[in-house]
Chains A and B, each alone.
Chain A
């Protein structure tokens, strides 16, 4: 279960606060997955008590956008801490799906990759099994193929430290790279943080989704949770 709250001493009008929180959550807490299970209890709330002397913020206020951006950034940090603490997690993975015709499709594809047991197992085993990433993209439940054109798709592993080459191309414009540098792939996959970059080449929308690997410890924890 995901629970959380954000509190501030700003005075914020209630509907503006709801707009602020809902927008922040859609780019943070609703873009994470540890195991693909949605709890019956998930709740994020925000309180603004107006304890500081300031003009009450509503959706027309000059500071509305700025405060909204700060709340979104806060929510992203809190959401990512949850993924970093995923049960048994040894890897923190950013799935970055960009240049999509629609945000909705980018999110569906990112979430599908993030919830693939086989992708998550390979990440735990530090196995550069990128075919599973393609497979997950291929079964994503998209309404149509406006955002997914097999001849334009690019998939890469991105190193999250300062080592180079930073990007390891796995699929280039729909063509699988059979001669990938396996040693470099292993180096990248041995890092605690990893980025999987999917460039759909069909538009300009993008979605960042955060997930973790699937380890033996996850099964151990959840095999006898009630105890």
Chain B
């Protein structure tokens, strides 16, 4: 019965094609953190060099903010929202309620990507999954190296859909929407969005 529901939702809400903004590349893989072997690590990177990117974010107002939330807030404050060129997402482990060690683990993940994209303070982090357990850094670090060394980045639909899958936990389908729009002078631009969430959902972000 639940399978039939999953089938309906997947067919009903998951797109079969998409349009994607210029200057972004995405990659994802199964690092081994998820016991099921499903994709659990993803990176979106900005490869446009014509100008510095702008970034903005809203975060949980829960008092016990997870390490990736505290780390990303600091990156945005340090750079006043300018020059963010990568977002790393991992699922299966939330790196939450992990104290100073969790912050160190978050820093190691971000700094590894910063080195690989040639930036300092250019990477935001997002984690989701079990609370109270530390990141399996060996698996995540190896996964990041594999993504860059094997040039797993792409800009096609499958790449974006797999990135949407890499952030899922108890979700039954990836959530991805894309669309092209026009400015008043006719210039065409693209918005692409993705989200995840199925439980522990009553956000009040700021």
Residues of chain A having any CB pair with chain B under 8 Å: 1-15, 17-18, 20-22, 25, 29-30, 32-54, 62-63, 66-67, 70-71, 74-75, 77-79, 81-87, 90, 111, 115, 217-218, 221-222, 225-226
- Contacts A9-B190, A74-B193 hold; do A3 and B128 have CB atoms under 8 A apart? yes
CA distance A52 to B191 in the complex (A): 12
B198 touches which one: A12, A30, A33, A85 (CB < 8 A)?
Answer: A85
30 contacts between A and B (CB under 8 A): A1-B196, A2-B195, A2-B205, A4-B175, A4-B193, A6-B192, A7-B192, A12-B54, A14-B56, A17-B54, A32-B203, A34-B202, A37-B200, A37-B201, A37-B202, A38-B62, A39-B60, A40-B60, A40-B66, A40-B94, A43-B69, A43-B72, A45-B56, A47-B55, A70-B179, A74-B177, A77-B177, A78-B175, A85-B9, A85-B171
Question: Considering residues B52, B129, B201, which has the most beta carbons from chain A within 10 angstroms of its beta carbon?
Answer: B201
CA distance A7 to B187 in the complex (A): 17
Look across to chain B and name the residue whose beta carbon is closest to the beta carbon of A226: B130
Are A43 and B62 neighbours in the complex by a CB distance under 8 Å?
no
Is chain A's interface secondary structure helix, strand, loop, or mixed overall?
A: mixed
CA distance A86 to B202 in the complex (A): 11
At the interface, yes or no: B84 with Cβ under 8 Å from chain A?
yes
Shortest A93–chain B CB gap in Å is: 14
Are A48 and B62 neighbours in the complex by a CB distance under 8 Å?
no
B175 touches which one: A62, A66, A85, A87 (CB < 8 A)?
Answer: A85
Contacts of B203 in A (CB 8 A): 2, 29-30, 32, 38-39, 42
Are B82 and A70 neighbours in the complex by a CB distance under 8 Å?
no
- Contacts A38-B204, A49-B23, A221-B170 hold; do A21 and B196 have CB atoms under 8 A apart? no
Flag B36-73 by CB within 8 Å of A: 1 or 0 each.
00000000101010111111111111101110110010
Are A21 and B58 neighbours in the complex by a CB distance under 8 Å?
yes
Look across to chain A and name the residue whose beta carbon is closest to the beta carbon of B164: A4
At the interface, yes or no: B21 with Cβ under 8 Å from chain A?
yes
Shortest A36–chain B CB gap in Å is: 5
B53 touches which one: A1, A42, A50, A85 (CB < 8 A)?
Answer: A50
Are A51 and B169 neighbours in the complex by a CB distance under 8 Å?
no
Shortest A58–chain B CB gap in Å is: 10
Shortest B134–chain A CB gap in Å is: 14
Are B87 and A34 neighbours in the complex by a CB distance under 8 Å?
no
CA distance A74 to B189 in the complex (A): 14
At the interface, yes or no: B27 with Cβ under 8 Å from chain A?
no
